[in-house]
Amino acid sequence: MTLEQLDTIAPSTPFQVPTAQRWNEANQRTDYDVAIVGGGLVGATLACALKDSGLQVVLLEAKPQSDAVARGQAYHINLSSSRIFEDIGVWDEMHPGANPIDQIHLSDAGDAATVTFVQKDLGTDILGYVAEHRVLLEALRQRLHDCSNVTYLCPAPLVKTIALDDGIELEVLQDGGIQQMQTRLLVAADGVRSPLRQQAGIRTRGWQYWQTCVVAFIKPEKPHHNIAYERFQPAGPFAILPLPNNLCRIVWTAPKAEAEAIMALEEKAFLSALTQRFGEQMGVLELVGDRAVFPTQLMQSDRYVLPRLALIGDAAHCCHPVGGQGVNLGIRDAAALAQILQAAHQQGDDIGSLRVLKRYDRWRRWENVIILGFTDTLNRVFSNSFPPLVVLRRLGLWTLRSVPPAKRIALKLMTGLSGRAPRLAQGERE
């Protein structure tokens, strides 16, 4: 990286100019083509997607492996993501722990009519899946053992990054000591509060919503029949996602004060309130495990790349949880970046150059804007009782029920089958 390039990053950048002493230590470094910081779902997906790319990759995860895997979270995995997982060779391990979605029921409070999406609306065998975080991450990490070109270090917090002419030097804390390594490209998959993004001076735009999500696992008395529900209430959307063993994941969005009150309820009172919101179609509900709460926000980075640096997943963007799009955007980021890096490597290009990385930025940043806008609009239009908006959304739901092309367009957006698909999502590899 030249000093001119360094000036384009930001005054607060972590990419410091190396000292003469560090240049003398260069022979002791371990060299990699790609260093991924963050070993969660998105970072691990990128590492697995770079298998057979010809690139040497290191994946750095700061937290102990048991802590990361134990997260009590579950996700809607859309068709695009499942195809990416299949192509990188992890879907066979994930599939037994992923519950299929055969139908999606969309409804608005006070309106008896429901929009029902089924497989024939899309011409596919399934509409998506729901899986727990641990199921997905364990499969990805197991796959890493078969990636001879990937070094996985955990726990291994990144301590410092230093700019070199042709790459970045990393100082990583491992086994009580500092390990030095050099990489041509640094990928930030380190979450919504990404230290790498902040230190590089990349600005973000967005806002915190007035809502908070209460999430929990419940076991209904009656079968869930592989149906996913999205029920819109004036306070916020309420989602029910089917999991294996007749479990369900609920995502209850409400204003912050109301969410705090829901969390404060004793279990019996919570289940009673949940039944009122959930309905009685599944019988008696049983709470499995603890409830959790997390804030909602919209965030988009002004840029996804700088020389030698790329952002993926929550480090680059974050959307409202309505529709379950968040993690799927990150998985698609990883597949797109892997495709671009592999093609550039095969053509003899510098994978860390801004010219190469801008291909990823142009592709994913603008596609993500569409989804971020879609989820934001959906939440705002449905999470209120303003009469003109009530009329507007009822008209929209009627259109989805009555106009098959409109239903198909909406379904393609929800399942990740719109926009430019990475080759990994098409069952192809370069």
Domain boundary (238, 263, 294) is at 294
Buried b (16+ CB within 10 A) or exposed e, 95-109: bebbbbbbbbebbbe
Q: What angle do CA 284, 287, 289 make, to 5 degrees?
A: 160
Strand 309-311 to 317-318 pairing? unpaired
pLDDT of residue 430: 41
22-73 pLDDT per residue, tens: 333 444 568 999 999 999 999 999 999 999 999 999 999 999 876 656 567 9
Calpha distance 375→321 (Å, rounded): 8
Residues 6+ apart with CB under 8 A from 10: 200, 201, 202
279 and 323: one domain? no
Look at residue 427 and tell me if it is in a domain.
no
Helix 326-346, helix 79-87: angle, nearest 10: 40
Count other Cβ atoms within 10 Å, centred on residue 64: 11
Binned at pLDDT 50, 70 and 90, residue 4 comes out as very low
138 and 164 housed in the same domain: yes
Mean predicted confidence (pLDDT) in 382-410: 89
Query: Final residue of a domain: which of 294, 327, 360?
Result: 294
Residues 148 and 264 reside in one and the same domain: no
Where does 231-386 have alpha helices with state H? 256-264, 267-278, 326-346, 354-382
Number of domains in the chain: 2
Query: Bridge-partner residues for 164, per DSSP?
Result: 167
% of the chain exceeding 90 in pLDDT: 77
Residues 274 and 404 in one domain: no
Question: What was the pLDDT predicted at 7?
Answer: 33
What are residue 397's phi and psi, to 5 degrees?
-65, -40
| pTM, two decimal places | 0.91
Q: CA 26, 28, 34: angle at the middle one, nearest 5?
A: 75
Q: Is residue 313 part of a domain?
A: yes
Q: So what's the pLDDT on residue 67?
A: 67
pLDDT of residue 68: 59
281 in a structural domain: yes
234 located within any domain:
yes
**Sign of CA pseudo-dihedral 136, 408, 123, 426:** negative
Whether residues 195 and 47 share a domain: the answer is yes
Contact 205, 300 (CB under 8 A): yes
* Residues in Cβ contact with 216 at an 8 Å cutoff, skipping those fewer than 6 apart: 249, 250, 252, 274, 287, 288, 289, 290, 291, 292
pLDDT per position as a tens digit, 125-149: 999 999 999 999 999 999 999 999 9
Strand partners, 309: 186, 306
**Count of residues for the chain?**
430
* pLDDT tens-digit readout, 144-181: 999 999 999 999 999 999 988 889 999 999 988 999 99
Q: Are 353 and 306 in contact (CB under 8 A)?
A: no
CATH number of the domain residue 22 falls in: 3.50.50.60
Indicate if the alpha-carbon torsion angle 294, 300, 302, 306 is positive or negative. Answer: positive
Which structure tokens are listed for 208?
A: 């915190």
Within a domain: 99? yes
Pair (315, 225) in one structural domain = no
Q: Residue 88 corresponds to which amino acid?
A: I
- Residue 32 sits in the same domain as residue 143: yes
Mark whether 354 and 407 lie in a shared domain.
yes
Domain boundary residue, one of 294, 312, 344: 294
- Whether residue 225 lies inside any domain: the answer is yes
How many helices (DSSP H) and strands (DSSP E) are in the chain? 15, 19
| 336 and 287 assigned to the same domain | no
From the list 366, 357, 362, 352, the residue with the least C-alpha distance to 317 is: 366
- Do 315 and 377 belong to one domain? yes
Shared domain check, 215 and 201: no
429 within domain boundaries: no
pLDDT in tens, 199-246: 999 999 999 999 999 999 999 999 999 999 999 999 999 999 999 999
CA distance 76 to 327: 8
What does each C-alpha distance from 275 to 5, 49, 72, 73, 186 come to in angstroms? 58, 42, 22, 21, 47
The CATH number given to whatever domain includes residue 290 is: 3.30.9.10
What does the pLDDT look like over 310-352, one tens digit per residue? 999 999 999 999 989 999 999 999 999 999 999 999 999 999 9
The pLDDT-based confidence of 11 (bands split at 50, 70, 90) is very low
Strand pairing category for 204-220 and 247-255: antiparallel
Considering the domain architecture, whether residues 285 and 305 belong to the same structural domain is answered as no
| Residue ranges making up the domain that contains 269 | 210-294
Q: Identify whether 53 is part of a domain.
A: yes
Give the mean model confidence (pLDDT) for residues 358-368: 97
pLDDT digits over 399-409, tens only? 999 999 999 99
**Longest pairwise C-alpha distance within the chain:** 73
> Which amino acid is residue 37, in one-letter code?
V
